[in-house]
């Protein structure tokens, strides 16, 4: 991929997309195409196709999605299903129409069965039941992978699917209800510290083990995979659709995570876990050996990433 390649970045204002955009600009890529969702809804294929009618796309990064934490996922299952299916169907259809050189489909580690053996390998896909709290989001992402697979085999289009673990970063959703675990927890501890509360209540038992990846690391992984030669990818996957886990060594229990964030805020109150709320999958750590074989690995440590976010998150 050269500096004059035309790159369509879908979801450029989101947690991951914004970091990809920063990297593209820092590396002097000249032709970055983005779409403001207020002007064109990616679920509207007619408008999307019309926008690109006379435009060339060499590469596409599918970072646009509706995502959220366990409460939002379990409460708005229908919305998560509809929106993600519609967005990814349209973008993949566009990839076929424009004969894009390489498309990056961004999935999630929640595609894997609830009781997968850890660390989870890519071959675990569709080998068991899903976690109910986010099954509609998971099924939507699985549908995107399977559509990518069909396009890869039927049309010969170069698509690589990345399955990242739990992502956190600066441009996150810090809403206590709809946010993922780290930003939601940061907001709760911030408010508890500010209001001098003697205790803070968190959801679940605190026992589940999670793996966390900084959005900058994921953005670096996306850029790395965009530039990996097809021959190198084919050595690992032969004629199969490339599906790559993107994980880190940042693995902690939710209870330990709460302790890290608490210390970062110098919060001295009690931390109470409300076990009336679901935990989700007990353990979800990825085997990222395949992407490491292609020359990428994570760099940002969990404590460092959290400290940086707390220093800069919107108050």
Active site residues: 137
CB 139 within 8 A of CB 285: no
CA angle 156, 159, 165 (to 5 degrees): 155
Element holding 71 (H helix, E strand)? helix 70-75
Closest CA to 1 of 100, 97, 145: 100
The H-assigned helical ranges of 99-160 are: 135-154
Q: CA 257, CA 248: separation in Å to the nearest integer? A: 15
Q: Coil, helix or strand for 143?
A: helix
As given in the structure block, the two tokens for residue 239 are: 């004629």
Q: What's the distance, CA 156 to chain centroid? A: 26
CB 20 within 8 A of CB 61: yes
As given in the structure block, the two tokens for residue 234 are: 């084919």
Backbone φ and ψ for 213, nearest 5 degrees, come out as -130, 130
Length, in residues, of the chain:
315
Q: Which long-range contacts (CB under 8 A, 24 or more apart) does 232-236 make?
A: 232/294, 233/160, 233/294, 236/290, 236/293, 236/294
């Amino acid at each position: 991929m050269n500096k004059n390649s035309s790159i369509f970045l879908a979801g450029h204002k989101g947690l991951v997309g914004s970091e990809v955009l920063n990297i593209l600009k820092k590396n002097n890529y000249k032709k970055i195409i983005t779409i403001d969702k207020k002007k064109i809804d990616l679920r509207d294929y007619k408008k999307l196709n019309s926008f690109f009618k006379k435009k060339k796309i060499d590469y596409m990064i599918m970072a646009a999605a509706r995502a959220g934490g366990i409460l939002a996922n379990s409460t708005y299952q229908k919305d998560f299903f509809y929106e993600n299916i519609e967005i990814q169907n349209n973008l993949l259809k566009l990839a076929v129409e424009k004969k894009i050189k390489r498309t990056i489909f961004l999935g999630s580690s929640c595609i894997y069965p609830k009781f997968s053996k850890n660390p989870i390998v890519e071959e675990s896909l569709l080998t068991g039941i899903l976690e109910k709290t986010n099954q509609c989001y998971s099924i939507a992402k699985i549908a995107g992978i399977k559509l990518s697979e069909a396009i890869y085999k039927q049309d010969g289009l170069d698509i690589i699917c990345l399955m990242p673990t739990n992502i956190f970063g600066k441009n996150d959703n810090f809403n206590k209800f709809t946010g993922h675990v780290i930003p939601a927890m940061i907001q709760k501890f911030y408010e508890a510290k500010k209001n001098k509360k003697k205790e803070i209540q968190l959801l679940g038992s605190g026992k589940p083990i999670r793996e966390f990846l900084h959005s900058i690391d994921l953005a670096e992984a996306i850029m790395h995979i965009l530039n990996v030669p097809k021959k190198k990818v084919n050595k690992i996957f032969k004629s199969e659709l490339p599906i790559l886990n993107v994980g880190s060594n940042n693995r902690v229990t939710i209870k330990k995570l709460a302790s890290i964030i608490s210390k970062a805020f110098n919060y001295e109150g009690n931390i109470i876990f409300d076990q009336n709320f679901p935990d989700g999958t007990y353990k979800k750590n990825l085997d990222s050996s395949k992407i490491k074989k292609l020359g990428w690995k994570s760099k940002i440590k969990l404590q460092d990433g959290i400290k940086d976010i707390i220093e800069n998150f919107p108050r």
